[in-house]
Amino acid sequence: MPAPVNLFKAALRENRFQLGLWVALASPYAAEVVSGSGYDWLLIDGEHAPNDIPLLAAQFRAVAASASHAMVRLPVGDTVLIKQILDTGVQTLLIPMVESVEQAQQLVRATRYPPHGVRGVGAGLGRASQFGRIADYLQTAGEEICLILQIESRAGLDALDEIAALDGVDGLFIGPSDLAADMGYLGQPGHPDVRAAIADAFARIRKAGKASGIMTLDLEQARDYRALGADFMAIGTDVTSLVRATTALRQDFLGQAAPTLKKTESGY
């Protein structure tokens, strides 16, 4: 029996747009609630949310029971963390702050078993192989891993073509907020210069035959990114959705106008 099919990776290969949402409340119960909302994928955030490996794994399992695909963003592209999270059963990773082809090559190797990589061969202890019950897991796991690398700096953009050309890199995800800050436009992810850089990045990613992703809280901006060619995109977070809904409920009762989220907060 082979490793489970990664439906998100299959969708990207078939050029089917995938709509997602950020999960940052660091709660399996909250992740399960969100997983019933109909999104194609959910990003469980280990970079800016207070998560560790056991908590990420618990949220992954909560989402896995739904039709939404669970992607995990680790806080950093560390080989040990990648080994641990893959053994929990996670198949799609988003790694932040990738800035060189050498860094990208090491990340690919971290997701593959020897002789093609450095992933530790301890599958029998992990949930990923159903604790050794998937007999062909070692031979088939790599094909179902989906590695998404986050480009969010000028250095990353400079290395984008080399990174996108690597086998084992399935997609590149542009981080508008950090990119804007690195370009000198802190808090302005919608600045025309930032948009132009994103449009150029999407075109280069598409030319390389890889999938391009992005995240924004601004729906007008999201539609623009989709028109620019985004293949997968998150359009909100559980945190901001909770803030908006609870604030609006109180203000509706009091007859007050609900606040709007600042566009400076629209990219993660």
Bigger pLDDT: 155 vs 265: 155
* Tens-digit pLDDT profile for residues 52-93: 999 999 999 999 999 999 999 999 999 999 999 999 999 999
Of 167-171, 227-231, 259-263, the one with minimum mean pLDDT is: 259-263
Question: Model-level pTM?
Answer: 0.93
Q: CATH number of 7-265: 1.10.10.10, 3.30.470.20, 3.20.20.60, 3.30.930.10?
A: 3.20.20.60
Active site residue 69: no
Sequence ranges of the domains in the chain: 7-265
Chain centroid, CA 152 distance in Å? 13
Looking at residue 92, its amino acid is T
pLDDT at 263: 54
* pLDDT of 158 above 80: yes
Measured distance CA(167)–CA(223) in Å, rounded: 30
Catalytic residue among 48, 69, 116, 191: 48
Query: What is the average per-residue pLDDT within 114-135?
Result: 92
Is 70:18 a contact under the CB 8 Å cutoff? Answer: no
Mean pLDDT of the chain: 95
- pLDDT of the residue at 259: 63
* Helix or strand (DSSP H, E) at 215: strand 211-215
- Residue 199 vs residues 59, 78, 184, 228: alpha-carbon distances, Å: 33, 29, 18, 6
pLDDT band at residue 122, thresholds of 50, 70 and 90? confident
What the block records as the tokens of 106 is 């090491």
pLDDT in tens, 91-118: 999 999 999 999 999 999 999 999 999 9
